[in-house]
A and B are shown apart, each in its own frame.
Chain A
Amino acid sequence: MGDLEGYRGQSLTALEAAGVSIGDFLSLEVDGQSVMGTLAPRYAHDDDSHIVIKLKSGYNVGLSVAKVTKVSRLAKGERPSFTSSNPKTRGDLLEVAILGTGGTIASRVEYRTGAVQPAISSEDLYSLIPELSDIARIRTEVILTVASEDLEPEHWGKMAEKVAERVAEGARGVVVTTGTDVMGYTSAALAFALQGVPVPVFVVGSQRSSDRPSSDAYLNLIGAVTLAVAAEFAGVYLVMHADSSDELLAIHRATRVRKNHASARDAFESIGIPPEGYWTRKGPELISKSLPPRARAEKFVPKPLFDPNVALVKFYPSMPTSLLEAQLASGLKGLIIEGTGLGHVNRKNIAVIQRFIAGGGLAFMTSQCIWGRVDLNVYANGRDLLQAGVVPLEDMLAETALVKLMWTISNTASAKEAEGLMRKNLAGEVTERSFPSGQTA
């Protein structure tokens, strides 16, 4: 925390003139009365005309700089620091690696000034979630500090490499904590990059911030770590709340999961298939009978490369050709289209796509309906798209298709080979049979 973090303009000038810092106990003269309290930090987007004081009662109040006639320091504040209790690590437990990638899975609150700080070291996690020390030996590392929406394909590569490193070092399982906004993309990316991974890898996050006592972060993390130890299966999965209660977590297949709610705990849903299983307080309950078993670690090699020159375009009524043309002109190698219904776009755009394919580009069709399967044989529009060279991707999720195409282009030598791989079911991203929502064969 800086000395006057967040202050700028007139409020910064006034505080600098008084020679005070955040955490100092101050007395401010306002309209002839004095207001006493601790100088609190200000946040981005706050204006420059107020000073925030934390009263003895714990409340923050903002005082207009224009009304403050005098600022005096009554006591110098100590720089806030966090200390952690020494965790007991039990040698008899197996090691689980936790990789932090920017989402805040755990936080601590510095109540004196009201600042919230992320907590990710093993010690932090042990002291915040003491149960963990009875489940596994935790080895944590922050490998990225990137907001969910700022993630780039190269970050997925880095995650995959780190997972492989930990696996090689003997981790029983790996937990990747990440922001939830693009978690479906991230889990799919890891599924492609870590094909054949010999241990389970669980991608987790939290929908309600970890600085609140009600956060879902704790249970998601406890569940993922427990599964990393107990699961007899390998592969990449996304683990989050199955419903609003803190009792049940769903284990989703990494390539068939989607964030379907902006804020609720059970935002993630398996699409077209039920979850592979559930985490309960009594242990895992599997639904799928065909999860790959754990394997020996020696032979595992990740494929962490992703080519970002790929676009995902959602078609909408009246979409002009200029949009696609601009995309394609930027040196794009591949295109995932989210068409309407069975996989359609308007006629004028078919011509643009056709030119792109003729020039060596790869174009694939998915459906914006989320549930269901594309079929380009039913309507004339679809047949035109097929003739233009567009490849239908069955019931693959558009987001998964995008990530798969990035990975495929990096891992093939020719467009023809890439198209072949895109049609192949590599990590459970396509199902062969469709069922009503929630049903299974």
Chain B
Amino acid sequence: MSVNALDLSKCDLKVGIEVHQQLATGTKLFCSCPPMKSEELPLSFERRLRPSQSELGRIDAAAVFEFNKGRVNLYRWNPESSCLVDADEEPPHPISAAALETVILISEILGARIIDEIHVMRKIVIDGSNTTGFQRTAVVGLGGSLAYGDGKSVGVQSTTVEEDAARALGEDARARQYALDRLGVPLVEIALEPIPDSPEGVERAALQLGRALRSTGRVARGLGTIRQDLNVSVKGGEVVEVKGVQKLNLIAKVVRYEATRQMGLLQVAAEAKNRSPNGVSSRVKDVTETLKTPASPVLKKVVQRDGARIFCASADALAGLLGFEPYPGIRVGKELGEIARTNGLGGVIHSDEFRKQGVTEAEDSALRAQMGVGKDAALVLVAGEEGRASTVAVLVKERLEAVPRGVLRETRAATEDGETRFLRPRPGAARMYPETDIPDIVVSPELVARMGLSLPVPWEQKVRSYSEKYSLSGEMAVQLYDSDKADLFENLAAKSKLDSSVIASILVELPARLAREGVEEMSIDGSLLSSVVLGLDRGLFAKEGAYDVLRTLGKGEVKTVEDAVSRLGIASMDDVEVERIVSEVVERNHTLVAERGERAFSVLMGEAMKLARGKADGGKVSAMIRRKMQEAGSPKQGDGGSA
């Protein structure tokens, strides 16, 4: 994609990272429920959250936005994983000591100053993901720093302990659904200072931070247990919060997309200001009568429904700017569509795509006449159930008026393909107040000292030790660390006579390859891997067969390594059989050997391994081929192809 055409080094790109990592404690943060995922959610209740008002009669913009969506929250739960605390029917119990200790430990690893008296706060979140309408959170450490390679380091702003939100199950026009199993699971949140680095540098910092967290051995593993939020800004714009990047290797892509989006919007803003220096004026009207029998198939479908209306928002001077793409895929029209979708509509139709959407010339003129605007204005049509459509039309109007501002303060969500989409306006800072149900927690100097003594071996040191002790390549040692199978590796290396790199490769590379093939990582656990390694060690099959053995076991086709080997028909060949195959291959290719000499080796090797079908050890085969080639009488060097 040519989004790369944008030179990010000139954008003054700054990215702050907030990492949220679930802790591996036996209970939730403020009750004794076990952190676990419930497959069945037999119980439910419905709630409506209301923004609480702050001083000066102000209510947080983000809170009002959520409230205006008017949807109820449907919570589904199972007593195996939740209780009345999660249902906001009982006050929180005292904070989990194990979680607090872990976060103190993590703060100390990062070199933070531990807070003397910890205050649990209520952070207002009224999208429904917390039954209370707030998230309980407390700063445990302030300051510190994180080294992230190449001599670079970034400051740590704060380390907090907080409760995870409820698990979103989806939403429709009436209700948002959440599962309570994840609500209240303890998280550590680490906020890094803005990093003035490339998207790849930012990704590396997040990666190193994750490794440091895992060095404690006290954090949860698996998909969804770590989430990254990014605060992205470019020169001349606002800070945009991008929530929920679940995969580390998406960070650079998301940062690149978001920075490009922001630079694009700034470009559109400059043009809008150029055309209309005194701002963009916009209005909304109900145009249902004007478009009684719309030509556009999309509109036709919507107006057929009962109670549906069409609203039009106009914006002077913006004709042509809604569909304009300063960079591929970046345009104001897309932003308007996101607002509609966030509020339960399918999208909008704007005047730059009227023809494409089937809105006729005549309809265009009639709309402009009704709106009282000329050809220079942009029009945006919003259609749907009256209440919802009129709300969205007003939001679209506000968005159009904000075009000259370029980048808006908003919270966006990272998508799975590395883009970002609008969620809500960004909340102001002023949305926290004390959780009066939990007394302040005085941290004893003894606890700080005790945690200081139990700091884990830094992960870099662990990686170095694998690499030195087992002669693994640096890359393999890091992969081994990241895979969490280092202990299993050390155990197997001690038990077997196999080469360490062979063991490491089976533990780390094969599961990754299988995952790409769609075999779930979950099904390939430690005991399965160790049975494969030990089977190889016992000579049940050749190392070339390890992948197939693991796949057969991982898919659940057989129960034991022996069964896998016999099913695959790859029991190790004895030397006589190997020699027979090699002789046959060398003989068949004797002309080639005569012509090319040493250079014929790879062809022979390939044919021999194919015949052996994973039953023979490659090292053994290659040694035998070389011996046979020599016996066949290696011709003189330089002979053959040089003429």
A residues within 8 Å of B by Cβ?
30-31, 33, 35, 43, 45-47, 50, 52, 55-64, 67, 80-85, 107-112, 114-116, 119, 127-129, 208-209, 211-215, 218-219, 243-247, 262-265
Minimal beta-carbon separation of A10 from chain B (angstroms) = 13
Asked whether B12 is an interface residue with its Cβ less than 8 Å from the other chain, the reply is: no
Closest to B427 in A: A58
Partner of A246, one of B47, B54, B434: B47
* Cβ–Cβ contact A62 & B132, under 8 A: no
Q: In the complex the two chains form, what is the Cα distance from A243 to B46 in whole Å? A: 10
Given contacts A110-B54, A214-B132, A264-B90, contact A58 B429 (CB under 8 A): yes
Closest to A110 in B: B55
* Cβ–Cβ contact B122 & A212, under 8 A: yes
**Chain B residues closer than 8 Å to A245, beta-carbon distance:** 45-47
**Chain B residues closer than 8 Å to A108, beta-carbon distance:** 52-55
Q: Beyond the given A33-B113, A109-B433, could you list 18 further A-B residue pairs with CB under 8 A, ordered by the A residue number?
A: A59-B158, A59-B160, A61-B115, A63-B115, A80-B55, A82-B57, A83-B56, A108-B55, A110-B54, A114-B121, A114-B434, A129-B50, A211-B52, A213-B50, A213-B134, A214-B47, A246-B72, A264-B89
* Cβ–Cβ contact B49 & A31, under 8 A: no
Number of interface residues of B (CB under 8 A): 54
**Chain A residues closer than 8 Å to B57, beta-carbon distance:** 82-85, 127
Minimal beta-carbon separation of B97 from chain A (angstroms) = 18
Given contacts A214-B47, A246-B48, contact A63 B53 (CB under 8 A): no
Asked whether B576 is an interface residue with its Cβ less than 8 Å from the other chain, the reply is: no
Closest to A68 in B: B116
What are 7 A-B pairs at a CB distance below 8 A?
A57-B158, A114-B121, A209-B436, A212-B122, A213-B132, A214-B49, A262-B90
**Chain B residues closer than 8 Å to A56, beta-carbon distance:** 429
Given contacts A50-B442, A213-B126, A245-B45, contact A82 B55 (CB under 8 A): yes
* Cβ–Cβ contact A112 & B55, under 8 A: yes
Closest to A213 in B: B133
Closest to A31 in B: B113
Q: In the complex the two chains form, what is the Cα distance from A116 to B84 in whole Å? A: 24
Asked whether B431 is an interface residue with its Cβ less than 8 Å from the other chain, the reply is: yes
Minimal beta-carbon separation of A24 from chain B (angstroms) = 16
Asked whether B600 is an interface residue with its Cβ less than 8 Å from the other chain, the reply is: no
**Chain B residues closer than 8 Å to A83, beta-carbon distance:** 55-57
**Chain A residues closer than 8 Å to B118, beta-carbon distance:** 61-62
B residues within 8 Å of A by Cβ?
45-57, 63, 72, 84, 87-91, 113, 115-119, 121-124, 126, 131-134, 137-139, 142-143, 157-158, 160, 429-434, 436, 439-440, 442
Closest to A263 in B: B90
Closest to B432 in A: A58
Partner of A244, one of B45, B116, B160, B432: B45
Minimal beta-carbon separation of B33 from chain A (angstroms) = 16
Q: In the complex the two chains form, what is the Cα distance from A385 to B175 in whole Å? A: 58
Minimal beta-carbon separation of B188 from chain A (angstroms) = 15
Q: In the complex the two chains form, what is the Cα distance from A33 to B439 in whole Å? A: 27
Given contacts A52-B119, A244-B45, contact A46 B56 (CB under 8 A): no
Closest to B85 in A: A263
**Chain A residues closer than 8 Å to B56, beta-carbon distance:** 81-83
Closest to A35 in B: B142
**Chain A residues closer than 8 Å to B52, beta-carbon distance:** 107-109, 128, 211-213
Q: A-B pairs with the 6 shortest C-beta distances?
A: A62-B117, A213-B133, A58-B432, A60-B119, A111-B430, A244-B45
Partner of A58, one of B47, B49, B55, B431: B431
* Cβ–Cβ contact A213 & B49, under 8 A: yes
Q: In the complex the two chains form, what is the Cα distance from A84 to B57 in whole Å? A: 5
Given contacts A64-B116, A112-B430, contact A244 B87 (CB under 8 A): yes
Minimal beta-carbon separation of A375 from chain B (angstroms) = 36
Closest to A80 in B: B55
Q: In the complex the two chains form, what is the Cα distance from A214 to B432 in whole Å? A: 15
Minimal beta-carbon separation of B123 from chain A (angstroms) = 7
Q: In the complex the two chains form, what is the Cα distance from A246 to B50 in whole Å? A: 11
* Cβ–Cβ contact B119 & A55, under 8 A: no
**Chain A residues closer than 8 Å to B429, beta-carbon distance:** 56-58
* Cβ–Cβ contact B432 & A59, under 8 A: yes
**Chain A residues closer than 8 Å to B143, beta-carbon distance:** 33
* Cβ–Cβ contact B91 & A263, under 8 A: yes
**Chain A residues closer than 8 Å to B47, beta-carbon distance:** 214, 245-246
Partner of B54, one of A109, A215, A262: A109
**Chain A residues closer than 8 Å to B434, beta-carbon distance:** 43, 60, 114
**Chain B residues closer than 8 Å to A62, beta-carbon distance:** 115-119, 440, 442
* Cβ–Cβ contact A128 & B53, under 8 A: yes
* Cβ–Cβ contact A114 & B433, under 8 A: yes
**Chain B residues closer than 8 Å to A211, beta-carbon distance:** 52, 433
Minimal beta-carbon separation of B183 from chain A (angstroms) = 12
* Cβ–Cβ contact A263 & B433, under 8 A: no
**Chain B residues closer than 8 Å to A50, beta-carbon distance:** 116-117, 440, 442
Q: In the complex the two chains form, what is the Cα distance from A47 to B431 in whole Å? A: 26
* Cβ–Cβ contact A265 & B133, under 8 A: no
**Chain A residues closer than 8 Å to B88, beta-carbon distance:** 208, 212, 214
Q: In the complex the two chains form, what is the Cα distance from A67 to B123 in whole Å? A: 28
* Cβ–Cβ contact B121 & A59, under 8 A: yes
* Cβ–Cβ contact B124 & A213, under 8 A: yes
* Cβ–Cβ contact A213 & B45, under 8 A: no
**Chain B residues closer than 8 Å to A243, beta-carbon distance:** 45
**Chain A residues closer than 8 Å to B430, beta-carbon distance:** 58, 111-112
